[in-house]
Structure 1
Amino acid sequence: MAHDWITTPITEDLLRGALDLERTEHGVLPHRLPARARAQYTDDQLATVEAQPSGVRLAFRTRATAVELDALRTKMAYRGAPERPDGVYDLLVDGDLTAQASVGGGDLLTLDMTTGATERQTGPAGTVRFADLPGGVKDIEIWLPHNERTELRVLRTDAPVEPAPDRGRAVWLHHGSSISQGSDAASPTGIWPSVAAARGGVELINLGLGGCALLDPFTARAMRDTPADLISIKMGINLVNTDLMRLRAFTPAVHGFLDTVREGHPTTPLLVVSPVLCPAHEDTPGPTVPDLTALGSGAVRFLAAGDPAERSTGKLTLAVIREELARIVEQRAADDPRLHYLDGRDLYGEADATDHPLPDGLHPDAATHRLIGTRFAALALAAGGPLAARRG
């Protein structure tokens, strides 16, 4: 069916969940960290994951029954491993997941896990299409892929659009690791923070940064400067993965991160979440390394390469981190009654590891993302929880 298309520039007022919008030669690129933060450490890993728009969505009101979005993606691949699924765009109509689609073409960034080298192949932009939408005025959200860098070119509809109205929901700002970003979830509304936000009736800003939840001061400042009604910080696993610091550095860094966030949000409900269960690193320090034997057979798995005996010298394990985080929060809560702690094993623990094992040794699968999100909503966002939703 032919349409009389209306082209709408993609501007900040049509986007939710991004902290910055960069104009590129291909269109606009949503960022989940502001430019000042990105300039302070130009790490390839950080640059890749913060430009993957986890939790970022177009939100508009329209009578349109057909929508097209042109985008240039950058898809990730691991050399020697099976091809990863295409990133997914989730279409919500008045809050209900109505359709899913992917964009073809784009760039392919291939990582050699044995050497760390990358290779880029370039390709053209693609188009994601949604047709036969219900008639009448409706609120549409297009959730962008949580695992593909996405440059947005143009939005086309067969009726005018306007920014979606504020629904009066509390804004939940969350920071965490690749699990929070959505690694191995099936789609952007299936990552555990999105599941929790939908169940809790809150608006998500997701600073889940794969491999980069490292207590970076620039991330703390970004959180300090971002308006929010509810805040959670899930910390620990990436510090073990990277073998970044010892206990002597960890404790002051946690205090400093929380101090910075509190400068901008002195009374906002703030929840510190320790790592979910990861059997490989419960009592074994990092670093985390790829399992080359598994890679040789076409699978991606990770192993703990540290020595448990090095805990005596201050090396971090998940058990050490949980104990210290609980102690820090208890100490600070005496003067900060809206600071709370949640043991990550309440979201995914020993009993779950049997029924929902981590396929690659680190990341939950799609079903487990839903499980974690459902539990977080019940434990943190529901009435009586530390982040019971309300506007500040």
Structure 2
Amino acid sequence: MTKQVAAIIVAGGRGSRLASSDDDRPKQYRTLAGRPVLTYTLEQFLDHPAISKVLVVRHADDLQLYDNAIADLKVPATDRLLTSVEGGATRQASVYAGLNALQYSECGVVLIHDAARPFVTHDAITAVIERLQQGAKAVLSAIPVVDTLKRANADTHSLSTVDRKGLWAAQTPQGFDLKTIWEAHQQALQSGRTDSTDDTAVAEWAGHQIELADGNADNFKITSPADLERARKIMEMTNQIEPPRPLAGSHALAGLGDVRMGTGYDVHAFDTGDAVILGGISIPHDRKLKGHSDADVVLHAITDAVLGAIGDGDIGTHFPPSDPKWKGAASDQFLHDAIRRVEDKGGRIAHIDATIICELPKIGPHRERMRQAIADICALPVSRVSVKATTSERLGFTGRKEGIASIAAVTVRLPF
């Protein structure tokens, strides 16, 4: 009998190896082509016809980041995307929290996948599911080790070659009979074992046989800046984003002789909160900005500037605040839509210049991260994005620290 399939996406990690002074977001919320890594991962599972339920296990501090990620989904989630649950102190504890949440579902098997593996393919997912439907209790997606392996002796500083025959590099998804893996996790926790780095290790410890399914070499886990750069290169090569092109000698831009410029302006008042969203990033503050969406004045101003350049109304025309659909929405959705309208006319954005007017928070420490976020959203090199900040010399509502304003100028190039 075919069993219903659930997928747990483990997204509670902190990604310390990828953290930097200008971007402290966990790796699963870093952006590729303007959208969070987690968004791409979720789409692969939500778009798979054999998967009935998808559950994300997230960190307790990441609810807003998670909401922004699912707001960017381009596939219908309907009721297949379950309400997220909070994870634990370790990966093993987080998976157990997800398994507990699925106990009363109708699913008989479960796939467990790392949120920071956005390039998992439908074929890899299908290979694991097929083994489970054929009766396997535990299945590991993996690829054979092809590199020569060396073992270092810490005492003698010598190297010895390791026979790679029969060695496999473990990936996710890892698939299990739901009851089997839930009981294995229970037994492990009751025995005081909490250090398993993947779920087949828990199943092995509990005495279960693991079967192999073919993985994919591109299904790597993003853990370092080099991994993130590799992910962006893959996006370029698969035409999911356009590689940045310099202005000089660029045939794409050189062929777009109709140069347009648009301006945008937006303002939002402060409200009770603990962070402001500006330029696609969250900045800690003792207040937040009040608005129907996430109130990102910078992205709102840029969106209006793009629409102004092509003479296509303004942000309120396309995303009216009276529509409950946009309540709390991430503002990069609005900018993505404006960019699409430019591309539909055969054009491209060439340059973005945004100015933020406020007394607090201080923009300088966050400027470069904001530039990168805007560049990612617009698939532009960061050199084509300018972000400046100024005060109003304590005059007016911004001077009284009642809110934040932003002005943006955008250059768009279209064919005649």
The verdict on a shared fold, with TM-score over 0.5 as the criterion, is no
TM-score, normalized by length of structure 1? 0.25
- Structure number with bigger Rg: 2
